[in-house]
Structure 1
Amino acid sequence: MSDLQKSMGGTVGTFVALSTILGSGMMILPGTSYHELGRSVWIPWTIAALSVVPLLYCYAWLGRRHPSASGVAHYAEIALGPSAGRAAGMSATFALVTGIPGTAVTGGRYAAQFSGVGSLTWIFPVLVLAGATAVARVGTNVSGRLQVTLILCLFAVVLLTAAAAVAVHGPKAPATALPPIGRIGGVLTAVYVAFTGWETVAFTFEEHKQPHLIPRIFAASYLIVVTLYALVLAGLFAAVSSHDDALDSAPLLLLAQRAFGGLGRPVTLLLVLAPITANVFASVLALSRLVFGLARSGYLPAPLSRVRARDRNPVTAVLAVGAVLTLIAVTASTGLVPFESLFIVSGGIYFVLYGIGAASFARLAEPRAATRAVTVLCAVTVTAVTLLAGPPMWLCWFLFAAVFAAAALHRRSRTRDPAAAGPPPAPRPAADHQRSPR
């Protein structure tokens, strides 16, 4: 058993967080929501951005006090018991195993559309996943520096594109009319995906040199994410009609063409490929850490917990993750696996994990007035989004409950049969036993 090397500083940690959060949602969500609600779309975006703050507070608190490669699985285990920890870990693994290939295939579809080379639909996902695996195998520092570069480029391009669109077409203020509540609810459920990903960032916390900086990393990445989406929406308000049907398929292309004319297509390609590449690189790194943590806890095969001696990098987990993700991406890009289902399942489970993290915070934090207030806000958010999202979200909660029940039954059967249980597991690293006093 071994800890991971603590090599990640605050700046790199912030950009890794941004890379994990900014993915394929940036390509489409501003356009589809604007097409649905026009310049009133700021209402659900604002609600989503504000309501996610208590959930982020929970993960920042947990990450600072309980940094572990297992992330939410570790939080759930020490707060809610081993069965909850195992269910959270398996659910998180399933979410990432479906979401990362979906993001890579999205990049392949854009690359194929923009170049006219149809084979890029599967070649791009294979290349970007191979690159992400190779970089994660080298180490966290190299991966982090690459993500800093990609996110800085993305921020610069978004800022220039939005500023050019507003300068050419003139600014347009958001609408003040309130759309029907039902339409706001449907859009709110969709745009909430733009504010998921921080639970994935938690899988890298064991490698932070200064865990006390984690709340600042969350705050900085949150403000940057909100700013980027606000810039995109401001550009769309200024330059694109909300009635344009192309908003549902290529909103960034519309925005870039209205801002830069003939240069719109290459600018759009950069707008698309930079966040997708950064997201895949960061997510592969995070998933490899989760797999390592689950194997170290005895939930996955023990060889996946091996680390390289010179830098304590879990290269076995990295290679296994890369191989599985590439296989899924190829099957999804060729139509053997329904592409849309990858995002439906992944997005729903991400939100379930938010709820599990909030429940873990409520159990572990000291019972003060602030703790109770954050817990209530989280409960209201999770309940409201679950009800608004409908059957797809309910299915994800059902899947979590099913995994939890199976884990509980398995644990109970092993407890009743000491011979089947085998020798006790080896002790975990010290980081996995930290717990705040109540």
Structure 2
Amino acid sequence: MSELRKSMGGVVGTFVALSTILGSGMMILPGTSYHQLGRSAWMPWAIAALSVVPLLYCYAWLGRRYPAASGVAHYSEVALGPATGRTSGMLATFALVTGIPATAITGGRYLAEFSGAPALAWAFPVVVLAAGTVVACLGANVSGKLQVTLLLGLFALVVCTAVIAIGSHGPAVPSTSLPGFSALGTTLTAVYVAFTGWETVAFTFEEHKSSDAIPRIFAASYLVVVALYALLLLGLFAVVDSDDPTLDSAPLLILAERALGDLGRPVTLLLVVATITANVCASVLALSRLVFGMARSGYLPASLSRVRERDANPVTSVVAVGLVLTVIAVLGALGLVPFEALFVVSGGVYFVLYGVGAAAFAKLADGARARVVSVLCGVTVVAVTLLAGPPMWLCWALFAVVLIGTTLFDRRRQVSRR
């Protein structure tokens, strides 16, 4: 059985996690939440940040004990059976195949709008996906080091821009007035997307030198993500009124222009390029590992489980993933695939996989702490599912349909073998 080489250290692993989590949501969600709730916008962010902690604990625990390329597919198979494992793997693949092109298209639209070059709307997604594929072909370590460089630049730009905005305009005190329940629920559902991605990070765990570092990687990346979003929100509070319509389309641009003047536009474009490139590179790497793991388990063609001898890199799965993602990105950029549907489907399925991971943890972990964490996860999953409404319910229904179909298929195959 082919195995991936354990070459990724804790620092690189942390930056890979950050690259996976910080995506297009960073460019839009702080602005839309502020536009909807005013200075009470910090509330859904705080709720999402706190409620995701038990789910991250589950994935850190599972990753440390079961570091496999197929991530949640492996965890759920060990805990809940082959049918659940295969269903989780199929839906994880589906979520990434829709989510990664959507992120690339978002970057292309941003660049096209603010550079005055409409061709970038389709050209940037193609270029960044091709770059992500090439980097993944070079190996996890090369990809990780590139992401370290991109994210250090990103952090410097975000921190400097937000600090200058707050310092030059004066800090604005967040509001303590509670928004309406419906508005809070709708915003919370959208904001939760900013705290997904750790389940995708799990697909790289097989390549970590030490699985004991995984909980520290989760903790460090979580703290950095929370700090960056807090800075962006506080920066927006300081420089712009909540009724400004620009918040729904270009919050980073208005923040940078108010803080840096004429430098605002080029800084924004650099932020977009760095964020999207790092996220796409990390996500292509993660998806190729998931496809490799699914093929190794017999759920996808065996050719996708081949690895290159000199570095144990699954290049076949990397190239296959890159080609599929590029085709979907082109179709989406040209309007032949509904762009909004890509985000809705991928975000909902990501959250379903959080729930599946929590269920696997509840089955595999013992002790009082595990029971408390499992209860907290259950409350979070049910609450967010109810608040999200029909789109989220549809994703759970999709999981149920695929699980039933997979179970029936497995039973028929077992009967035919007899």
TM-score by length of 1: 0.95
Q: How far apart are residue 275 of structure 1 and its match?
A: 1.0
- CA deviations on 1:312-365 (whole Å, 9 max, x unpaired) are 100000000000000000000000001010000000000000000000000001
Q: How far apart are residue 83 of structure 1 and its match?
A: 0.2
Alignment of 1:269-348 (within 5 A): 269-348=269-348
CA distance in structure 1 between the aligned counterparts of 2:228 and 2:272, rounded to whole angstroms: 14
CA distance in structure 2 between the aligned counterparts of 1:235 and 1:118, rounded to whole angstroms: 29
Match of 1:38 in 2: 38
Match of 1:133 in 2: 133
Amino acid at match of 1:374: V
Match of 1:166 in 2: 166
Q: How far apart are residue 89 of structure 1 and its match?
A: 0.1
Q: Which moves more between the two structures, 125-134 or 115-124?
A: 115-124
Q: How far apart are residue 115 of structure 1 and its match?
A: 1.7
Match of 1:264 in 2: 264
Match of 1:201 in 2: 201
SS of residue in 2 equivalent to 1:336? coil
Q: How far apart are residue 216 of structure 1 and its match?
A: 0.2
Match of 1:157 in 2: 157
Give structure 1 regions of 4+ aligned residues with deviation exceeding 4 angstroms.
Answer: none
Amino acid at match of 2:374: T
Match of 1:104 in 2: 104
- CA deviations on 1:170-219 (whole Å, 9 max, x unpaired) are 01111111111221111101100000000000000000001000000000
SS of residue in 2 equivalent to 1:185? helix
Amino acid at match of 1:217: I
Alignment of 1:8-47 (within 5 A): 8-47=8-47
Ranges in structure 1 where 5+ consecutive residues have no aligned partner = 420-438
CA distance in structure 2 between the aligned counterparts of 1:342 and 1:275, rounded to whole angstroms: 19
CA distance in structure 1 between the aligned counterparts of 2:302 and 2:2, rounded to whole angstroms: 12
Match of 2:377 in 1: 378
Amino acid at match of 2:169: H
CA distance in structure 2 between the aligned counterparts of 1:151 and 1:242, rounded to whole angstroms: 29
Match of 2:252 in 1: 252
Match of 2:363 in 1: 363
CA distance in structure 2 between the aligned counterparts of 1:126 and 1:360, rounded to whole angstroms: 37
SS of residue in 1 equivalent to 2:174? coil
Match of 1:142 in 2: 142
TM-score by length of 2: 0.99
Q: How far apart are residue 114 of structure 1 and its match?
A: 1.7
CA distance in structure 2 between the aligned counterparts of 1:86 and 1:275, rounded to whole angstroms: 31
CA distance in structure 2 between the aligned counterparts of 1:64 and 1:285, rounded to whole angstroms: 20
Amino acid at match of 2:407: A
- CA deviations on 1:392-414 (whole Å, 9 max, x unpaired) are 00010011111111110111001
Match of 1:213 in 2: 213
Q: How far apart are residue 159 of structure 1 and its match?
A: 0.5
SS of residue in 1 equivalent to 2:308? coil
CA distance in structure 2 between the aligned counterparts of 1:51 and 1:188, rounded to whole angstroms: 11
CA distance in structure 2 between the aligned counterparts of 1:96 and 1:77, rounded to whole angstroms: 20
Q: How far apart are residue 113 of structure 1 and its match?
A: 1.1
- CA deviations on 1:275-318 (whole Å, 9 max, x unpaired) are 11100000000000000000000000110000001111000000
CA distance in structure 2 between the aligned counterparts of 1:272 and 1:133, rounded to whole angstroms: 19
CA distance in structure 2 between the aligned counterparts of 1:23 and 1:383, rounded to whole angstroms: 25
CA distance in structure 2 between the aligned counterparts of 1:68 and 1:19, rounded to whole angstroms: 20
CA distance in structure 1 between the aligned counterparts of 2:261 and 2:245, rounded to whole angstroms: 19
Match of 2:91 in 1: 91
CA distance in structure 2 between the aligned counterparts of 1:372 and 1:271, rounded to whole angstroms: 41
Match of 1:399 in 2: 398
Amino acid at match of 2:404: A
SS of residue in 1 equivalent to 2:7? coil
Q: Which moves more between the two structures, 211-220 or 165-174?
A: 165-174
1:176 aligns with 2:176: yes
- CA deviations on 1:397-433 (whole Å, 9 max, x unpaired) are 01111111111011100111117xxxxxxxxxxxxxx
CA distance in structure 1 between the aligned counterparts of 2:32 and 2:388, rounded to whole angstroms: 16
Match of 2:82 in 1: 82
Amino acid at match of 1:386: T
SS of residue in 1 equivalent to 2:376? helix
CA distance in structure 2 between the aligned counterparts of 1:189 and 1:262, rounded to whole angstroms: 35
Alignment of 1:46-61 (within 5 A): 46-61=46-61
CA distance in structure 2 between the aligned counterparts of 1:180 and 1:303, rounded to whole angstroms: 53
Q: How many matched pairs?
A: 418
CA distance in structure 2 between the aligned counterparts of 1:43 and 1:332, rounded to whole angstroms: 33
CA distance in structure 1 between the aligned counterparts of 2:359 and 2:267, rounded to whole angstroms: 43
CA distance in structure 2 between the aligned counterparts of 1:117 and 1:230, rounded to whole angstroms: 32
CA distance in structure 2 between the aligned counterparts of 1:116 and 1:40, rounded to whole angstroms: 34
Amino acid at match of 2:185: G
Query: Root-mean-square deviation (CA), in Å?
Result: 0.6
